[in-house]
């Protein structure tokens, strides 16, 4: 085994996700007892749903969209 991955969409907050990740890593550490960790990565994706999708231009700074922000209301 050379990597660990946790993928889920059933978390309620970043803290909840990190608790799950911590539990997975603790299990790997206890069972496999790795000597070296070469790389750690984390990709956390926030999702908008409901009314927030309609208000995206209020919730996200236009500069985040890069050149797409100059195309009008294409977003």
> Look-up: residue for tokens 């919730």?
59
Q: What is the pLDDT of residue 12?
A: 84
What six digits make up the tokens of 41? 């990565």
Q: What is the pLDDT of residue 10?
A: 83
C-alpha distance from residue 54 to each of 19, 23, 38, 66 (Å): 31, 36, 42, 19
User: pLDDT tens-digit profile of 9-67?
Assistant: 788 888 988 899 899 999 999 999 988 888 888 877 777 788 888 888 788 887 777 76
Domain ranges, ordered by start, for the chain: 14-69
> Look-up: residue for tokens 């206890």?
30
Would you say residue 73 has pLDDT above 60? no
Overall pTM surpassing 0.75 (yes/no) = no
- Are 51 and 43 in contact by the 8 Å Cβ rule? The answer is no
Can you tell me the distance from the alpha carbon of 47 to that of 13, in angstroms, rounded to the nearest whole number?
Answer: 11
């Amino acid at each position: 085994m050379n990597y660990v991955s946790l993928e889920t969409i059933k978390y309620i907050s970043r803290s909840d996700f990190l608790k799950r990740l911590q539990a997975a890593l603790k299990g790997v550490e206890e069972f496999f007892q790795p000597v070296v960790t070469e790389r750690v990565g984390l990709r956390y994706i926030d999702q908008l749903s409901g009314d927030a999708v309609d208000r995206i231009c209020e919730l996200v700074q236009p500069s985040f969209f890069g050149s797409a922000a100059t195309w009008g209301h294409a977003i």
